[in-house]
């Protein structure tokens, strides 16, 4: 597994829009504030030309422009990492234009969540390069920074290899007034498991809505990843934007049939955003009942922030105890 080198002081943090462009005035204000904060911490910010552009569908730019903008940042020696501007619905279009050989020649941290699963998951699963499932660029613009943001920057800088779960989380979207709002402390965080559990393995996953699409289309190949890492163990994490029981059931049935979970040592599920069903946890337990491994819910990953830094491809150890979690990585 290729672990990209840490971000260095004085380098540029590249920002691009592989799906939606960010055009709302308060979102732009948040981005500008993020730039100011990161400049003060010794980093430049290099935004591609499509970050603050959107057509009538929300696309930041034509497919090949989005591909080119990403590769320009990867090939730029002054750029130390790449962070997505936003999620969306159209990152899948980029797969038709990707030059995977070029991507492998310029491995850098690439980060985002939600629709960004399209690239992050495939890059790690098929090309053996670690990627980060974490906040999009706008999170750096909150004031004040949540602990998750400062700790995440330490991960990028190579100064951190472990993290503790958080105390509270924001239960959905909230009204914006200044554009700089931090996460609201709506509800207490509680990681739910069947007693205290500790499990270790190579971490992989993302947004279930995208993983479902990959499974149905057959557009990702996990044989190589699973064959290489099954003996040391694999941990799957998932979270959903908008799914129901029927979709979840069909998705897991297909994944199991296709051998996605070879070598699995545990499953970690984030807080669902727009779940449509009666019992999220029971539905998933029923789908995965053949696997005698820990299944954990309520994790700090995905659409309901704050978000822990989940690193696709890294060796990770989860210790869940009394509703809390300690996550430790083997990185450098």
Q: What is the largest CA-CA distance in the chain?
A: 51
178 CB neighbour count, 10 Å cutoff: 10
Written as tens digits, the pLDDT of the chain (332 aa) is 999 999 999 999 999 999 999 999 999 999 999 999 999 999 999 999 999 999 999 999 999 999 999 999 999 999 999 999 999 999 999 999 999 999 999 999 999 999 999 999 999 999 999 999 999 999 999 999 999 999 999 999 999 999 999 999 999 888 899 999 999 999 999 999 999 999 999 999 999 999 999 999 999 999 999 999 999 999 999 999 999 999 999 999 999 999 999 999 999 999 999 998 889 999 999 999 999 999 999 999 999 999 999 999 999 999 999 999 999 999 98
Tokens of 56: 């009538």
d(C-alpha 29, C-alpha 257), whole Å = 47
On whether the CB atoms of residues 76 and 47 are closer than 8 A, the answer is no
Tokens of 248: 């979840």
pLDDT at 175: 87
pLDDT at 321: 97
> φ and ψ at 96, to 5 degrees?
-70, -25
On whether the CB atoms of residues 146 and 134 are closer than 8 A, the answer is no
pLDDT at 332: 80
> φ and ψ at 66, to 5 degrees?
-65, -40
d(C-alpha 258, C-alpha 255), whole Å = 5
Nearest Cα residue to 194 out of 258, 277, 105, 288: 288
pLDDT at 278: 84
Domain with CATH 3.40.50.10740 in the chain: 12-162
pTM check: above 0.95: yes
CA atoms within 13 A on the CB side of 144: 3
d(C-alpha 65, C-alpha 60), whole Å = 9
DSSP letters of 141-162?
A: G-SSPPHHHHHHHHHHTT---E
Domain with CATH 3.50.30.60 in the chain: 168-330
pLDDT at 16: 98
pLDDT at 167: 98
71 CB neighbour count, 10 Å cutoff: 18
pLDDT at 174: 86
> φ and ψ at 134, to 5 degrees?
-150, -165
Domain 168-330: which CATH number of 3.30.470.20, 3.50.30.60, 3.40.50.1820, 2.60.40.60: 3.50.30.60
d(C-alpha 254, C-alpha 248), whole Å = 10
pLDDT at 324: 98
Q: Which CATH class is domain 12-162?
A: alpha beta
């Amino acid at each position: 597994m290729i672990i990209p080198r840490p971000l260095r002081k004085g380098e540029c943090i590249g920002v691009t829009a592989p799906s939606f462009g960010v055009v709302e005035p308060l979102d732009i204000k948040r981005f500008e504030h993020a730039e100011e904060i990161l400049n003060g911490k010794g980093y430049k910010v290099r935004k591609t030309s499509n970050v603050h552009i959107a057509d009538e569908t929300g696309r930041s730019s034509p497919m090949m422009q989005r591909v080119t903008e990403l590769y320009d940042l990867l090939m730029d020696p002054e750029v130390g990492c790449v962070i997505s501007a936003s999620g969306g619905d159209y990152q899948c279009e980029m797969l038709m234009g990707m030059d995977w050989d070029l991507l492998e020649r310029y491995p850098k941290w690439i980060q985002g969540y939600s629709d960004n699963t399209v690239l992050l998951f495939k890059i790690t699963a098929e090309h053996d390069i670690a990627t980060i499932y974490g906040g999009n660029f706008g999170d750096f613009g909150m004031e004040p920074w949540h602990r998750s943001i400062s700790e995440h920057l330490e991960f990028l800088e190579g100064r951190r290899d472990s993290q503790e779960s958080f105390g509270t989380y924001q239960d959905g979207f909230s009204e914006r007034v200044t554009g700089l709002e931090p996460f609201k402390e709506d509800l207490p965080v509680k990681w739910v498991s069947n007693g205290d559990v500790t499990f270790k393995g190579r971490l992989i996953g993302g947004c279930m809505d995208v993983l479902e699409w990959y499974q149905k289309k057959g557009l990702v190949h996990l044989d190589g990843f699973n064959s290489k890492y099954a003996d040391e163990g694999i941990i799957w994490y998932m979270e959903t934007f908008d799914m129901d029981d029927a979709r979840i059931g069909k998705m897991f049935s297909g994944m199991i049939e296709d051998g996605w979970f070879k070598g699995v040592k545990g499953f970690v599920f984030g807080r669902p955003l727009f779940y449509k069903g009666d019992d999220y946890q029971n539905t998933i337990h029923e789908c995965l009942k053949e696997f005698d491994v820990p299944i954990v819910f309520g994790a700090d990953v995905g659409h309901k922030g704050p978000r822990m830094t989940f690193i696709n491809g890294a060796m990770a150890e989860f210790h869940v105890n009394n509703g809390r979690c300690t996550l430790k990585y083997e990185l450098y």
